Amino acid sequence: MTPSLGRSANGSPPTLADVAERAGVSRQTVSNAVNNPDLLRADTLARVQLAIDELGYLPNRAARNLRTRASHLIGLRILPAQEGTANATMDRFVHSLVEASREAGYHVLLFTGDPTDPVAGYDDLLRSTAVDAFVVTDTYLGNPQAAWLAGRRAPFVAFGRPWDDPGADHPWVDVDGAAGAELATKHLIGRGHERIAWLGWRKDSFIGEDRRSGWTRAMRAHGFATTGLASRTEDTVASGREASAVLLDEAVPSAFVCASDTLAMGVLHTLAERGLHPGRDVAVVGFDDSMVAQLVPPGLTSVRQPLEEVAVMVVRALEGLLSHPPRRADDVLLTPALTVRGSS
Amino acid sequence: MTPSLGRSANGSPPTLADVAERAGVSRQTVSNAVNNPDLLRADTLARVQLAIDELGYLPNRAARNLRTRASHLIGLRILPAQEGTANATMDRFVHSLVEASREAGYHVLLFTGDPTDPVAGYDDLLRSTAVDAFVVTDTYLGNPQAAWLAGRRAPFVAFGRPWDDPGADHPWVDVDGAAGAELATKHLIGRGHERIAWLGWRKDSFIGEDRRSGWTRAMRAHGFATTGLASRTEDTVASGREASAVLLDEAVPSAFVCASDTLAMGVLHTLAERGLHPGRDVAVVGFDDSMVAQLVPPGLTSVRQPLEEVAVMVVRALEGLLSHPPRRADDVLLTPALTVRGSS
DNA sequence: TTGAAAGCGCTAACAC
DNA sequence: GTGTTAGCGCTTTCAA
């Protein structure tokens, strides 16, 4: 009787030796059949392949990892989800990264760490050679992990520019936030708005200032005033609500461009309180195209980051770093798109 | 000069042999210091520990995995995110699972597979012994993966009851959807509502029918009619909008209990179109406590699944399965809670 | 309490 | 083209 697929007689998965015996060749020949098929004569390859299929053989990962000094695993640290915000960007990115990695033959290993220690978790994975490389996502607020990883000579690619260290020599992929905000502002200008307010993050956020510059650029290009029309606050609904209420009272904008969907939802709250209708009375554009933007009536126009593309480029850069010899991929700055909905 | 932490002279991480040499003991003694410290004499242990710390030694995962036949990796398959729905339950669960796994010494390996083939991806990971076990999440709609994994004798724990196979003998953890819907309905009854509509999924969804039964139970317990007050539809905003419009016209409910936040958002769309205010004119309760529920004005009351607890119980069951000898943990049915917001 | 030997399953290097 | 040898770094067994 044929052993059941994927299990040899002793109950554990078949090994190279099992296949070799069945095909009547040496173990090395089986290894070559798997890794360098063109080295084998056609009939030998066919015989080995048959045995492989019959046994359902797949190389043992641990053994292969040990020998090749590679795990084909990519580490990604995820932070606890922020309740009460629309920040699902990371979750969307995780999906995209898993997909893109798979196509390159990698799996994604998720880990967490003490949120107060930006480097926690990386160290152990690195020292135990559990992953081949990392994808680093939270490059904002002067995060030390890029420098730390670089110091350890750990291969990694960043999703996000090295804002505070332009000389950093790791590859990165980012989305042009200024272009996104500019797109949003121009869209509103095209709809006839002139008094367009900016609702953004506090000044110490590089990403926030970058996005804000897109708004400024579009406004200036059309000769519209920006004075008194900008507000910087925390990334919470409550802050967005308060800030938009103040702006409405003091600057009377007819439209808002926001640094996040969370802040945009704050604007919607203010409008709801005042009996104003988004899109009809006041236009609102958010940033990130979160599920909230898609679902809230009448739909929130929002800047959408091309995370699928980001993931593909990140993996491409990773492949470069992990090839022999290592290649450093060019940095990539992608342009977001605008998803127009009822709120504008 | 001391070699830099985590790297021996030749540039790769230090090994057992490096530590042994430095501490003047055999490799085996170092291994014991790591895995069975009580076997060593106190002073030997201290000496070895010092060398370990100085070198920044951590056991190589691949080697350890090969030897112990365990990867300390848990596989979780994630499906492509459904745009246009509020279904971020999976993302929340991923976070919780990563956290719970870490505390048990496991990492989470994410993978995808052809969405049309429910078993794709599992097979390779299993045969290559890349993961120790799986967490299976999409147990609805007669999904064959549980039976398939069981047939392969692969250790796995399900988040979700084996609805279509009550005799399945794998451990599972689930949330009591009926209790959740009952909680929601009773909450509305307590607010004075009597004509409470049910907006749910199509009849072939076990989960949908389970949740619906909670509504029925609460209504019957109070002697309220349910005839004409229930609607079953697809889990999309558009379906929820249409179905709620029909219900409002034909059955004139004063409140809605929905099988998902997505459907609840559909109700909010209908209310917005008709100039009705959620919470003031018509009460609405959703299911899942998604970010949308938290952010939409005036806040959507929603049933919240205790996913953190689910993850902890899942990992506990996993630990049982992977211990020697394997233990099958008791099945767990957790009760959700209601998060009350402006919509009710 | 510590050390020596063997081997997990694989692939790199080399010999035939 | 194919087979042989060696060894990746670790833990299990057994001997000292």
Note whether B307 contacts A: Cβ–Cβ < 8 A: no
The secondary structure of residue A37, as a DSSP letter, is G
Do residues A294 and A325 both lie within one domain? Answer: no
B111-129 tens-digit pLDDT: 997 778 888 899 999 999 9
Question: Which domain covers residue B63, as residue numbers?
Answer: 16-68
Contact B80/A65, CB-based, under 8 Å?
no
Domains in chain A, number: 3
Domain for residue A5, yes or no? Answer: no
| Last-in-domain residue among A37, A68, A99 | A68
B269 touches chain A (CB under 8 A): yes
Establish if A9 belongs to a structural domain: no
For residue A8, is it within any domain? no
Asked if residue B340 is part of any domain, the answer here is no
Per-residue confidence at A3, pLDDT binned at 50, 70, 90?
very low
Q: Does residue A231 share a domain with residue A132?
A: no
Q: Output the average pLDDT for chain B.
A: 92
- Strand C–CB A28 distance below 7 A: yes
Q: Are B336 and B308 in contact (CB under 8 A)?
A: no
The pLDDT value given to residue B3: 46
| Confidence bin at B77 (pLDDT 50/70/90) | very high
Measure B269 CA to nearest chain A CA, in Å.
Answer: 5
Is A81 part of the contact surface with chain B (CB cutoff 8 Å)? yes
Residues 6+ away with beta carbon under 8 Å from B139: B146, B158, B159, B160, B161, B162, B163, B172
Q: Which residue's CA shows the smallest distance to C1' of C9?
A: A63
**Considering the domain boundaries, does residue A11 fall inside one?**
no
| pLDDT tens per residue across span A46-81 | 999 999 999 999 999 999 999 999 999 999 999 877
Q: How would residue A342 be classed by pLDDT, with cut points 50, 70 and 90?
A: very high
> What is the DSSP-derived secondary structure letter of residue A297?
T
Alpha carbons B23 and A156: distance in angstroms, whole number: 33
Distance from CA of A335 to the nearest CA of B (A): 20
The CATH number for B63's domain is 1.10.260.40
The residues near A108 (Cβ < 8 Å, ≥ 6 apart) are A73, A74, A75, A76, A94, A97, A98, A101, B109, B110, B111
CB neighbours of residue A48 within 10 Å: 25
Question: Considering only CA atoms, which residue is closest to the C1' of nucleotide D5?
Answer: A28
Residue among B86, B129, B291 minimizing CB distance to A13: B129
Same domain, B160 and B186: no
Q: How far apart are CA B160 and CA B171, in angstroms?
A: 10
Assess if residue B11 is contained within a domain: no
- Work out the average pLDDT over B70-81: 92
Give strand pairing partners of B88.
none
Q: Of all nucleotides in the shown strands, which has a C1' nearest the CA of A66?
A: D8
Q: Token pair of A2, please? A: 């044929």
Task: Return the pLDDT at B138.
Answer: 78
Q: Residues B63, B109: one domain?
A: no
Residue in this structure with the two tokens 């110490």, named with its chain if needed: A204
Please tell me whether the peptide bond between B14 and the residue prior to it is cis, using omega within 30 degrees of 0. no
pLDDT of residue B66: 96
Q: Is A128 in Cβ contact with B295 (below 8 Å)?
A: no
The residue-averaged pLDDT of A211-226 equals 97
**pLDDT by residue (tens digit) across B225-273?**
999 999 999 999 999 999 999 999 999 999 999 999 999 999 999 999 9
Rounded CA separation A182/A209 (Å): 13
Strands (E), chain A: 73-77, 107-111, 133-136, 156-159, 172-175, 196-201, 230-233, 255-258, 283-287, 301-304, 332-334, 337-339
Chain B: closest CA distance from residue A236 (Å):
10
Nucleic strand D near CB of residue B141 (< 7 Å): no
CATH of the domain at B142: 3.40.50.2300
Backbone angles phi, psi at B304, to 5 degrees: -105, 125
Do B118 and B150 meet the contact criterion of CB atoms below 8 Å apart? no
- The residues in B 179-208 lying below 8 A from A, measured between CB atoms, are none
Q: Look at residue A140 in the predicted model and tell me its pLDDT.
A: 67
Number of Cβ pairs < 8 A linking chain A and chain B: 180
**Residue B339 to chain A, least CA–CA distance (Å):** 13
Q: Place B6 in a pLDDT band, splitting at 50, 70 and 90.
A: low
Residue nearest to nucleotide C11 (CA to C1'): A67
In a shared domain, residues B147 and B195: no
Q: Would you say residue A4 has pLDDT above 80? A: no
Residues B198 and B285 in one domain: yes
* Beta strand pairing call for B172-175 and B156-159: parallel
pLDDT confidence band for B308 (50 / 70 / 90): very high
Q: Name the B residues in 285-304 with CB < 8 Å from any A CB.
A: 290-292, 294-298
Domain end, chosen from A68, A93, A112, is at: A68
- Peptide bond preceding B162: is omega within 30 degrees of 0, i.e. cis? no
Average pLDDT estimate for B14-19: 93
Confirm whether A113 is domain-assigned. yes
Buried b (16+ CB within 10 A) or exposed e, B86-98: bbbbbbbbbbbbb
Q: Residues 3..42 of B with a Cβ closer than 8 Å to A: which?
A: 6, 12-13
When pLDDT is averaged across residues B161-183 and rounded to a whole number, the result is 93
pLDDT band for A86, please (50, 70, 90 cuts): low
Residues B182 and B118 in one domain: no
Please say if the pLDDT value at position B139 is more than 80.
no
Residues A165, A311, single domain; the answer is yes
- In this structure, the answer to whether residues A288 and A324 fall within a common structural domain is no
Check whether B13 has a pLDDT greater than 50: yes
Same domain, B115 and B213: no
Measured distance CA(A232)–CA(A244) in Å, rounded: 10
Long-range contacts of B230-233 (CB under 8 A, 24+ apart): B230/B197, B230/B198, B230/B199, B230/B200, B231/B197, B231/B198, B231/B199, B231/B200, B232/B200, B232/B201, B232/B202, B232/B203, B232/B208, B233/B199, B233/B200, B233/B201, B233/B202, B233/B263
User: For residue B331, which amino acid is it?
Assistant: D
Triad A217, A221, A226: Cα angle to 5°: 60
Q: Are residues A183 and A263 in the same domain?
A: yes
pLDDT of residue A1: 35
Interface probe, candidates B110, B235, B284, chain A, greatest A C-beta count within 10 A: B110
Mean pLDDT of chain A: 92
pLDDT at position A170 is 94
Separation of B252 CA and C12 C1' (Å): 76
pLDDT bracket for residue A165 (50, 70, 90): confident
The DSSP bridge pattern shows strands A172-175 and A156-159 to be: parallel
Q: B127 and B245 in one domain?
A: no
pLDDT tens digits for A110-163?
A: 999 777 888 889 999 999 999 999 999 977 666 788 989 999 999 999 999 998
> Is B4 part of any domain?
no
